[in-house]
Amino acid sequence: MECVNEYPENWEIWAKIVKDEVGWKCEECGAPHDPEKGYCLTVHHKNGVKSDCSRKNLVALCQRCHLRAQGKLLRSQRVSAMELAGQIAFEFRSNY
């Protein structure tokens, strides 16, 4: 059985391209890549699909911002799964 949510073989190249494009700074908080000060730049998949390396799906984030983004993504995925299973239902109301 093949796993479809794995990093591609050239992931390191994709990650470096994204980091280079943004000047090795976090796109969320602007912190520069500086591991000694606790800011290690990473690349996050917005949709959570590791094999989707389209540029619109990739964002350079420091580890702190990456953890926050990943937490939001995981919560969203859990809620969606629960909705699909009929365990919860949300009514969307917009003021716009």
As for how many domains the chain has, the answer is: 1
For residue 84, what are the CA distances in angstroms to 80, 88, 89?
A: 6, 8, 9
Q: What is the pLDDT of residue 34?
A: 95
Tell me, yes or no, whether 31 lies in a domain: yes
Tell me, yes or no, whether 1 lies in a domain: no
Tell me, yes or no, whether 78 lies in a domain: yes
Tell me, yes or no, whether 26 lies in a domain: yes
Q: What is the pLDDT of residue 36?
A: 92
Please give the chain's pLDDT, 96 residues, in tens. 344 568 999 999 999 999 999 999 999 999 999 999 989 999 999 988 899 999 999 999 999 999 898 877 766 666 565 566 665 555 545 453
* Residue 69, domain extent: 11-84
pTM of the model: 0.70
CATH number of the domain where residue 54 is located: 3.40.1800
Tell me, yes or no, whether 80 lies in a domain: yes
Q: What is the pLDDT of residue 3?
A: 46
Q: What is the pLDDT of residue 82?
A: 59
Tell me, yes or no, whether 17 lies in a domain: yes
